[in-house]
Amino acid sequence: MPEKAVEVMRGMRGILISALALGSAIALAACGSGGGIEGGSSSTTASTVQIQGKPSGNLTISNWPFYIDNKTVDDFDKATGISTKYIEDVNDNNEFFGKMQPLLSQGDSGGRSIIVVTDWMAAKMHELGYVQNLDKSAIPNVEKNLVPALQHPGFDPNRDFSIPWQSGMTGLVVNTDLAPDVKSICDLFKPELKGKVDMLTEMRDTVPLVMKCMGVDLSKATEQDWLNAIDKIKQAADSGQIRRFTGNDYTRDLTAGDVDAVIGWSGDAVQLQADNPNIKFVMPKEGCMLWSDNMEIPVGAPNPTAAEAWMNYVYDPKNQAQIAAYNNYFTPVDGVKQIFEKTDPTLAKSPLIFPNSQFTKTCDVAPTIKGAEEQKITAAFNAVVNG
């Protein structure tokens, strides 16, 4: 063969190979399309769980880490004969939702009978038809012992589909040694704290608190109020007033002395005090945000009978005291304080575990936002946090 022809043949062979490779890639990909992250239908009519006879069998619970002592699950299994698998695979509402959504949209809970998510996510899952209504006849302890403050949240006024696991406050966590004068959310915007402030990436904690500083009544907050607050946060971030936006890792910045005051969670403050007694939870002058992490029974959940038996069990003050003594958040169950007064009087006095109504009277639950409004607000907030 003449040399030229060989060259040409070689060139063509290359093209052929790459065409084949590309073609098979597309063919393979086409087989898979339609699946993956696409899909997802919404229905807002929730069914009610079917309770059948005496609880038994297997139970799988998804909860957040550091939320339960190491005895309660065994005690529950012994008391009921249920075999419980308690997994700590919820680390972040958004992330957990991202993982569960493809399953839930197909009516599958991935074997989970109970999941625990924060109020707004609980509401969102209900909105999308991903959770079932509870049969209240099987959870008399909840009816009897749920603290009044948590009985009628805006997103679930009758507690039809969500039962609080633990609650907490979002407010100021301050190094009182470095910044003794920080008493309000508005103080975080003062020039003397420039570069010494962290705020949370959790939008529903940070933005409503800033709205409170701006004098917005959260029960009447409009989309514009949210966007105004986000704008105020953006200006503070651009000018370098806010050092960074964090999750739990603001604890590092506080203990290292890199920041003086942050928007943070009450439970963390209790834990940080062990290292540095100057770090304190400060109730903002404007009030705090109250949140709960809620147990829900997702669609397709196996053995809802056992799931409700669990809910009923942890709402017995005796059992709840064991959990509350471990995690130091505030308990949604009445009667625990009386138990602590006998067993551990210092715990019974902590305002972070048992906040009296005077202490939290200016606090709010984050207002609900949804649909296009939620999308717009989230996009605006994330543009500040990310970029």
Partner 1 sequence: MRINRRRLVPYFLLGPGILWLILFFAIPMYFMGRLSLDSGTLETGFHFDWNWANYHDALSLYKTPFVRSFVYAGVATAIALLIGYPLAYAIAFKGGRWKNAMLLAVIAPFFTTYLIRTIAWETILSDQGFVVNTFQSVGILAEGGRLLNTAFAVIAGITYNFLPFMVLPLYASLERIDPSLIEAAKDLYSSPRSAFWRVTLPLSLPGVVAGTLLTFIPAVGDYINAFFLGSTNNHMIGNVIQGLYLTQRDYPAAAALSFVLMAVIMFVVIVYIRIAGSEALMGEEAVAA
Rounded least distance, CB 88 to partner 1, Å: 19
Residue 65's closest CA among 169, 146, 165, 206? Answer: 165
Nearer to partner 1, 233 or 307 (CB): 233
Rounded least distance, CB 205 to partner 1, Å: 13
Rounded least distance, CB 239 to partner 1, Å: 9
Rounded least distance, CB 213 to partner 1, Å: 19
Write the CA distances from 174 to 43, 116, 122, 249, 270, integer angstroms.
44, 29, 30, 15, 12
Binding site for partner 1 (CB under 8 A): 17, 21-22, 24-26, 28-29, 32-33, 36-42, 94-95, 97-98, 101, 105, 124, 128, 195, 201, 237-238, 240, 242-245, 252, 256-258, 375, 378-379, 382-387
Rounded least distance, CB 264 to partner 1, Å: 17
Residue 6, token pair as written in the block: 């060989």
Please list, residue by residue across 323-343, b when 16 or more beta carbons sit within 10 angstroms of its beta carbon and e when fewer do: bbbebbbbbbbebbbebbeee
Rounded least distance, CB 355 to partner 1, Å: 29
Nearer to partner 1, 151 or 368 (CB): 368
Nearer to partner 1, 94 or 222 (CB): 94
Burial status of residue 196 (CB atoms within 10 A of its CB: 0-12, 13-18, 19 or more): buried
| Residues belonging to the chain | 387
| Angle, vertex CA 351, rays to CA 347 and CA 354, nearest 5 | 70
Nearer to partner 1, 134 or 197 (CB): 197
Beta bridge partners of 197: 242, 261
Rounded least distance, CB 277 to partner 1, Å: 18
Nearer to partner 1, 74 or 192 (CB): 192
Which residue shows structure tokens 């998804």?
Answer: 62
Which residue spans within 211-301 are E strands per DSSP?
Answer: 242-246, 261-265, 279-282, 289-296
Nearer to partner 1, 80 or 175 (CB): 175
Nearer to partner 1, 99 or 136 (CB): 99
Residue 286, token pair as written in the block: 């404007």
